[in-house]
Amino acid sequence: MGEVKLYGVWASSYCNRVQMALKLKGIPYEYVEEDVSNKSRSLLNYNPVHKKVPVLVHNGRPIAESLVILEYVDEFWKKAPLLLPEDPYERAKVRFWANFYDQKLSPSINSIVKTGGEEQEKAIKELLENMRVMEEELFEKESTVTARSPFFNGDSPGFLDIVMGSSMCNHRAVKEALVVGTDLINLDKYPFCYSWLTALEEHPIMKDTLPPHDKLVELIRKWREKLAH
């Protein structure tokens, strides 16, 4: 198995994705908390291209970028639970929706947190529209999520559950910190998504890994205060 070390930041959903995958697989690892305002020499050496977290170091060899790391973890440690489907077409669909989430929803969420006024309203509209697309094209059409198998991966969270859930499960903290009048995850508008998210929030590994609610609310509010000055 070898030595496994993860360089991350506690509030980063990208870093928490990797922790969730390692925990699901039962892989022991050392976690190193980074200060993004004063990055360690080790982080800069391991990720000289982007100089960002997360970075997984396995037997002294670094792997960067959260989606790449998740695939590496699943391919190297082939034991259950597998994060990606074995069927090539199903794997391709999972990769498509993971990229859709990172390219469409994540930027909207970041804009909601970091902006205000008309720009924030625009970001909320973009988020809700992309949520509608996911509800209709992913959760309703493609999902195998049922009362018996609440996740995309069946009884255990998989690749797509981790990618989306690592940030979506923080929606209450975002709303509380920003005092956003719109429910970002609304039961009436997105019943399939809401059902999946509710089950995911109750999973022990999700509870064990997500940032503490109050601490995350405080951090987002501090970001907002800095932006206001």
Domain annotation for the chain: domains and CATH numbers: 4-76 (3.40.30.10), 88-228 (1.20.1050.10)
Tell me which H or E stretch contains 4.
strand 4-8
For residue 141, the model assigns a pLDDT of 76
For residue 189, the model assigns a pLDDT of 87
Per the DSSP assignment, residues forming a β-bridge with 61 are 58
Nearest one of 142, 51, 133, 156 to 95, comparing CA atoms: 142
Nearest one of 145, 194, 201, 196 to 169, comparing CA atoms: 201
**Which residues, including other chains, have CB under 8 Å from residue 131's CB and lie 6 or more apart?**
105, 184, 185, 189, 190, 193
Please tell me the chain's helix, strand, coil percentages from 3-state DSSP, rounded to the nearest 5.
Answer: 55, 10, 35
* Helix runs in 26-179, H state only: 41-46, 66-76, 88-100, 106-114, 117-134, 159-168, 171-178
For residue 181, the model assigns a pLDDT of 63
For residue 22, the model assigns a pLDDT of 98
Q: How many helices (H) and strands (E) does the chain have?
A: 11, 4
Averaged over successive runs of 10 residues, the pLDDT of the chain (229 residues) comes to 92 98 97 96 97 97 98 95 93 96 93 87 91 91 61 89 95 86 75 90 96 96 79
For residue 228, the model assigns a pLDDT of 64
Output the CA torsion 208→170→46→104 (10° steps).
140
Give the integer Cα–Cα distance in Å for 53 and 134. 27
Q: Which pTM value belongs to this model?
A: 0.93
Query: Which two tokens mark 167?
Result: 């940030």
